[in-house]
Amino acid sequence: MNNEVKIFCPATVANVNCGFDALGFALEGIGDEMVFRKVPQPGVVITKITGEDLPMEATKNVAGVAAIAMLEGEALDFGIEIEIHKKIRCGSGIGSSAASAAGAVFGINQFLKTPISPLELTHYAMKGEALASGHEHADNVAPCLYGGTTLITGYDPFRITALPPMDHLFVGILHPHIKIATKDARAILPKEVPLKDAITQAQKLAGFVTSLYEWDKTLFAESLQDLLIEPHRKQLIPHFDAIKEISIAEGCIAFGISGSGPSLFCFAFAKAHIDNYLATSKTYYMSKGLEVDTYSSRVSGQGCYVL
Ligand code: HSE
């Protein structure tokens, strides 16, 4: 068996407006690369990080923490060296920490005679995610490992449902160059929500899932609404309302905060709508003195994969 493997770990969009801490999807063509070496000495050593200034010490690095959790949890009798090549900006809201955490466990899995399941991998990856956000949430690591669109249908017992493909949709990602730490974006959320909003939000998530199984375009677009989180987090994102208006004017069918932001995602039925929206929003942000990155993407059916 080869003792070295190189992988790709995709960026992901979590929450997707109607499923806070539950819903997420993988993006096509945006992601990190990682290299793993199986070594006889036990433990995890991070040998190289490019693209971002992140801790080399395994216990302080999300990939390191996820890898340690898996080596210990599975009682594996070997050690791992990891190279991390970050392409997803930290604090961008498209699953940067999740890509590292999910990549770590996916990489180790390649060396097992009997690989463990995506559900078990997600369990270990969440340990790394918790280092970044202070909370074990799986809505980024699950789609990063499974690909496509995933719904966390329970944390105790832990259950993940892979939803029908959304690969016919076009996705735009706009990343204004400010950093939002997930921990901070969680800290501003209220501990309690009004019952009527909780009921409407449950209907939106149910409507979203139904729309995918029945492919009901109208229900899909109507369901992608966020009553609970967006009203609090949008204040962290400059010009949120103006960019939302641009997305509607350019023909996008849904718009919202990707994960904890600041990236914004939108869906459209045609690539031209996404490209026009990204161009107009970029011009708008630049007129306000803010740099942005834009990505025209799709929902990827693939999670992490070996290169
Ligand atoms: N569900 C998490 C949150 C995702 O919004 O805090 C973080 O990327």
- Protein residue closest via CA to atom 1 of ligand 1: 21
Strands 254-257 and 292-298: unpaired
Counting ligand 1 atoms within 8 A of each CB, the residue from 260, 264, 265 with the most, and so the one to mutate, is 260
pTM passes above 0.85: yes
DSSP track, 22-71: TEEEEEEEEEEEEEEEEESS-EEEEEEEESS----SGGGSHHHHHHHHHH
Closest CA to 289 of 177, 180, 181, 179: 177
Q: How far, in whole angstroms, is CA 151 from its chain's centroid?
A: 12
Q: What is the pLDDT along the chain (307 residues), one digit of tens a residue?
A: 689 999 999 999 999 999 999 999 999 999 999 999 999 999 999 999 999 999 999 999 999 999 999 999 999 999 999 999 999 999 899 999 999 999 999 999 999 999 999 999 999 999 999 998 888 889 999 999 999 999 999 999 999 999 999 988 999 999 999 988 888 999 999 999 999 999 999 999 999 999 999 999 999 999 999 999 999 999 999 999 999 999 999 999 999 999 999 999 999 999 999 999 999 999 999 999 999 999 999 999 999 999 9
Q: Is the CB of 137 under 6 A from ligand 1?
A: yes
182 is catalytic: yes
Q: How many CB atoms lie within 10 A of CB 24?
A: 29
Counting ligand 1 atoms within 8 A of each CB, the residue from 25, 92, 139 with the most, and so the one to mutate, is 139
Return the H-helix or E-strand segment holding 223. Answer: helix 217-223
- Protein residue closest via CA to atom 7 of ligand 1: 259
| Cis amide leading into 165 (omega within 30) | no
**Active-site residue identified among 81, 150, 182, 250:** 182
129 is catalytic: yes
- State both tokens at 198: 């909780």
- Protein residue closest via CA to atom 4 of ligand 1: 259
For 224-303, where are the alpha helices, taking DSSP H only? 230-233, 240-249, 271-287
- Protein residue closest via CA to atom 6 of ligand 1: 260
Q: What are phi and psi of 23, to 5 degrees?
A: -110, 145
